[in-house]
Structure 1
Amino acid sequence: MADGSQPLRGGRSAFRPKLLPSLLTLIMVAILIGLGVWQLQRLEWKTGLIADLEQRTAAAPITLNEALADPSASQYRPVRVTGRWLHEREMRLLARTYRGEPGLHIVTPLALSDGQRLLVDRGWVPLSAEDPVRRTAGQPQGIVTVIGLARLGGWDGRDFLRPENDPAENAWLWMDLPTMAEAAGLSQPVTALYLAALADQHSGRYPIGGQTRVELENNHLQYAITWFVLAAAAVAVFFLSQRRRQEDASSARE
């Protein structure tokens, strides 16, 4: 040009991928898609589990003998039992909340007519009603019929996170059925399962039953979408990063 300046270099961009970025992107996308597919599989599993729990909790009550025939299969099934409360042997399941208020659950043995003793989580009481004297209306005497969800005892978390129960202080953090039965001095205790009482099982205000939560979080679809979006983003970044001006690509070949 007359002023001595260099002409602007033009030309269209061309897709010229390099080997290493291509391999890395391929591996990354495969992993991300695999994670998305795994989450879809988890979604199918969780959906089936939720449907099974809803079906179990809505089923007609079964007898205790039916539940004991296969405790694992009977979990969350309603069970109807008849007996007499042993209020003098009730136990405290600590660190339980209800609508954000701290409190505890009352676990009371139920003496059945056949001599067995069944532990029943009757529900939540506030700390102010821990003393049975403050909730006498919820301490029915005589023969009662109770319906509760069958639950397995034991600690279901990691062993190193398991807190210690204190039988001497009647302070329990998880349902250790054999130890609880021993601490309460029960003969013929049922230790394969216990019942979590449904709501409205007595005339008193406390304990408040129906504390078993069967709702399960199901976020696997969102997780799957996230992984697939990340895979698409990785592909987009790869294509944009591997586009070079056509003249630069020609120079590279020379």
Structure 2
Amino acid sequence: MVAVAAACLSLAATASSASAQSSTSATAITSSRSFPKTTTVKKNLLAESTSTSVDSNSNWGGIESLNPPQTKSTAEKEAEAKAAAEKAAAEAAAQAAAQAAAQAAAQAQQQAASRSQSRSSLSASTSSPSATVTVNPPDSASASALVAYAAQFVGVVPYVSGGNTPAGWDCSGFVQYVFAQMGISLPHYSGAQATLGTAVPSLAEAQPGDIIANGAHAGIYVGNGMVVNALNKNAGTVYTPVAYAFSGSYSIRRLL
């Protein structure tokens, strides 16, 4: 009986093994590689890949047709920000320059209108021989008061040869009149005015209120290389550079 049972178990195991082999052969599973076989070892594992080759018939679920947004590098962003800042600064500078030009034009227009009005008043006041221009008298007998007093006639009083009043004067007549208001009597001749007072060695040592004169012209120094003077018939009483008013040598004299 024992022998019979062992034979039966052996037959059952053999049948089961054959059945399993038959079943496995009927439902065999195969697989294929999605990526091509790589046989080359990548030496630099930290290097970023720049391209990937895949089979032309591979299907990635449509991601190969995606259009991702393009981003900019930090350098590109900084360059754009710098360009925008420079453009804004240039526009601000142009606007400031335009405003300054407009203000200067308005100021020049106001000054021209004021001078025109002053000339109109001067014409009305000089219609008779005894009329004079109304100006503020000097507030002291100082050189600064003399320069401030003389400035009131700039752009107002015309050049008149031989004249020495606000109705019209020549170069030495203007200097003579201004100093007379300070209580100082001068001759009406530029050559004589060039010999009065104390001599000043050079223009670098000249002070406002000094007389600059030679045999052809005279003026009052106001500083910064400028004189106030009755220049000619076209200009009248104006400020000019010393080098423009005097073509030759000149004398600098100090009376105050």
TM-score by length of 1: 0.32
Higher normalized contact order (CA 8 Å, seq sep 6+, divided by chain length)? 1
Please identify the structure whose Cα radius of gyration is greater.
Answer: 2
Greater strand share, 1 or 2? Answer: 1
